[in-house]
Amino acid sequence: MGIGREVAGGAGGAGIAKVMLYAAGILLIAQGIGSFTFTIGPGKVVLLPMIWALLLGAALGLFSARWKSAARLDTSNQFLAAAILQPALLLFVAKLGLMVGSALPKLAAAGWALAFQEFGHFVGTILLGLPLALLLGIKREAIGATFSVGREPSLAIIGEKYGMASPEGRGVLAEYLTGTVFGAVFIAVFAGFVASLHIFDPLALAMGSGVGSGSMMAAASGAIAAQQDPETAKSVLAFAAASNLITTTIGTYFTLFISLPLAVLGYRVLEPLIGRTTKASTDAAATASPALGDVQTEAPALGYSTRLLVWVVTAAMTLACDWIAHGTTPLVGLPGMAITVGATIIGDAVARMTGNKIPAVCWVSVVAMLLTSPWCPWAPQIAAFGAHNDFLNVTTPMLAFAGLSIAKDIPAFRRLGWRIVLVSFVANAGSFIGAALVAQLFHV
């Protein structure tokens, strides 16, 4: 997993406190900025507080290189932020699971076409994106960048399995950044162009639109619906929403058990055959910035007490975001967050007791889903508590920690350059076309 020494007390405790204080300050600024929307061509780009948190954290890390003060965010702090990010991601997975449980009956009624098109979403990214990445000289970052479209659940999976300081972690984070800034615009143009060819049934294209990102789904389905009659347009939007629901929920398991192993296998087989050496192939350790005078090259391991602290502090940050964004007082939001933290602790404990043979991200998701599923007698009340915690506000602290960890990887991002952006576009196109193709086979 790319995890090295364990943090315990002393300087490690001071570093954790510094990272968390910076993250808290960034959250306040990000929530103060709020959402910002602008138009590029036929699509919109929406910058939410969670994106500001990511960008502000990255900017702080970059400017710290010029500080002489002890308050600077040095390389060891940045690696510590990457280590903190991993348990924080489990809290996000728990929140996602609580949202999924009540939707299980809807997913069961979605039909075979919607179920099987999920294979297309995640295999399509690999079939097109991985070979291109290898031809462009990208190495193990290609796994993180092409096993999915790089949304929040993908960050959680890669973060737990490899660590966010790994090449795979840099790959998925680069995919996330590219998709966030350019993804909606690209997929709107691409989906509209494919729809204009009249090769696919509009409903198959609608299913392909559900790539797991709300903004990308809306952009793609909107471009497709604009070319249909009013009645078909309504069906396109409905099928796209159902597909996106499945991708956001069951897709976590597809990426974990199917697409990620396929990406790893594909890399092992194809890299010796078509892998090239370019500027992007340079070893990340060789490009590490010496500006902070630190030689650390991997994230520290966190003891259980520290992981518990991360969950509690991240939950408190989420409550603060809910209060600022929606006026939901911490007292109202506390029961839902307590349940989220509890599901995280239980799922993590089960993973440890079973020797981590099945990753904690899976156990946490299962425990959370069961709590709001029809099989739980308290599901309605638990779901009602959870409704007071905004899903996006759970994501914001996570991306603040991610932002604080980015500066150490800037040299690696620079060497990937335009190549990773192109790979991201092709992976997104592969997800759309792959799912549409599978849906076409089952729907027609």
pLDDT of residue 115: 65
pLDDT of residue 299: 65
Q: How far is CA 335 from the centre of its chain?
A: 25
**CB neighbourhood size of 350 (10 A):** 16
Dihedral angle sign, alpha carbons of residues 419, 423, 429, 432: negative
Dihedral angle sign, alpha carbons of residues 352, 158, 438, 124: negative
CA distance 162 to 402: 15
Phi/psi region, residue 111 (left: phi>0; alpha: psi -120 to 50; beta: rest), is left
Instruction: Show the low-confidence residues of the chain (pLDDT under 70).
Output: 1-12, 38-46, 103, 106-115, 180-181, 214-215, 245, 248-249, 282-299, 412, 443-444
pLDDT of residue 3: 42
Which tokens go with 360? 């904690």
Helix (H) / strand (E) element for 422: namely helix 410-443
Comparing C-alpha atoms, which of 254, 261, 174, 249 is closest to residue 212? Answer: 249
pLDDT of residue 5: 47
Which are the contacts of 209, defined by CB distance < 8 A and separation ≥ 6?
A: 187, 191, 216, 217, 220, 221, 224, 240, 243, 244, 432
CA distance 161 to 168: 9
Which domain, by its residues, includes 30? 3-443
Dihedral angle sign, alpha carbons of residues 99, 102, 104, 110: negative
With beta carbons less than 8 A apart as the criterion, state whether 158 and 141 touch: no
- In three-state secondary structure terms, 404 is helix
Structurally, the chain folds into a number of domains equal to 1
CA distance 285 to 237: 46
Which tokens go with 229? 């009659």
206: exposed, middle or buried (C-beta count within 10 Å: 0-12, 13-18, 19+)? buried
Comparing C-alpha atoms, which of 278, 324, 265, 321 is closest to residue 123? Answer: 265
| Helix segments in 65-213, DSSP class H | 75-101, 104-108, 112-135, 141-146, 152-161, 167-178, 184-196, 202-209
Measured between alpha carbons, how far is residue 412 from residues 279, 283, 290, 375, 420 in Å?
Answer: 10, 8, 13, 47, 11
